[in-house]
Structure 1
């Protein structure tokens, strides 16, 4: 049976992709170190003076590539750090709150680790996202909540923002189901390489 509805097709894919990512995580236990090292030069070229700029990362869970080493690296380079926080489970409204890695986190409206509401909401210049799969043209398949798509659409309407996906190289795919509202990546960073969507042939 051929699935033609993108939303239904995405749901059908996610179980397979989650299992695939678990296997990739086992095969590449040092991916977080390799990714942080590969990020140094391109991010320094893209943002030569990061003082005052905000980098939004994520709190890695399960088999997601952990951005913690990269977060420490960005903080040492002068970036202000932020983490996503879903404020309303019903609407899926997500903001990026200031993050001090030395301070405890709370659970947001959907149970994910996030800075408390006492931390200010920031507008990132760089958003680093997790994913289940990606294409060379920047299509990103996430967990299915649409939180990043909504937040990035609103953010991109207000200012330039560079969206970088963190993944294992084995998560690249073709013919991923996608919809017009899906927000695309500007670049992808894996344990193998850093590539912009332009370099990947978008």
Structure 2
């Protein structure tokens, strides 16, 4: 019998925590992210404040920002539980405040609509479907996205968290990511696999 999403989360969290402790894996992941973003050339990137086990993109984002003064980065805030995320511009050293679930959020009130989102994954499959924490925040965010086109979505994951049989219990609201970056490379799926772009 196939495992449920809940069972996969329980199984993969310690696996991801161990994988994320590997400095060579994180260096390789950063290099693959750098190559993919260089190809896509977004002007603004939304990312996430890392929780234990998640790839920490803050150093990479800081370097990406420093290379071009016109680039912008943003972090999400949760206005209320089970609501779409709102993104606000962020720079290294910017004031932060504690948000829902104890996750730091930008104190800035300057709203952002990033061109590309880095999305943390507990697990993922070859079709680009993501196993998250079960809160549905990213699904609701994309469903309610106010811009004329959706941002490209890039999952941040580790190969040890690949679900070969596919993420279970896919619903009508589940959208595949456009790419998944791991220490092994950038796996193009969704719109990027078909040659489409949101911009």
TM-score, normalised with respect to structure 2: 0.85
Q: Does 1:57 align with 2:42?
A: no
The answer for the alignment partner of 2:10 in structure 1 is 15
Select which of 151, 171, 175 maps to 2:166: 175
The answer for the alignment partner of 1:109 in structure 2 is 100
How do 1:85-96 and structure 2 match up within 5 A?
85-89=77-81, 91-96=82-87
Asked whether the 8 Å contact 1:56–1:127 carries over to 2, the reply is yes
User: How far is the alpha carbon of 1:63 from its aligned partner?
Assistant: 1.1
The answer for the alignment partner of 1:37 in structure 2 is 31
Asked whether the 8 Å contact 1:167–1:190 carries over to 2, the reply is yes
Unpaired runs of 5+ in structure 1? none
Aligned positions, number: 189
RMSD between superposed Cα atoms in Å? 2.2
User: How far is the alpha carbon of 1:74 from its aligned partner?
Assistant: 2.2
Counterpart-to-counterpart distance in 2, 1:124 and 1:97? 9
Measured at CA, do residues 121 and 157 of structure 1 come closer, stay the same or move farther in structure 2, by a change above 3 Å? Answer: closer
Asked whether the 8 Å contact 2:123–2:162 carries over to 1, the reply is yes
Greater Cα offset, 37-46 or 77-86 = 37-46
Over residues 113-148 of structure 1, what are the superposed CA-to-partner deviations in whole Å (9 max), with x where a residue is unaligned? Answer: 1102x4322111000010111111110010111111
Counterpart-to-counterpart distance in 1, 2:31 and 2:166? 30
Asked whether the 8 Å contact 1:86–1:110 carries over to 2, the reply is no
Partner SS, residue 17 of structure 1: helix
TM-score, normalised with respect to structure 1: 0.84
Select which of 66, 89, 110 maps to 1:120: 110
Counterpart-to-counterpart distance in 2, 1:111 and 1:196? 33
Partner SS, residue 184 of structure 2: coil
User: How far is the alpha carbon of 1:77 from its aligned partner?
Assistant: 3.5
Measured at CA, do residues 194 and 94 of structure 1 come closer, stay the same or move farther in structure 2, by a change above 3 Å? Answer: same
Select which of 131, 137, 148 maps to 2:127: 137
Unpaired runs of 5+ in structure 2? 195-199
Over residues 167-197 of structure 1, what are the superposed CA-to-partner deviations in whole Å (9 max), with x where a residue is unaligned? Answer: 1111111221121112321001111211211
Counterpart-to-counterpart distance in 2, 1:38 and 1:150? 28
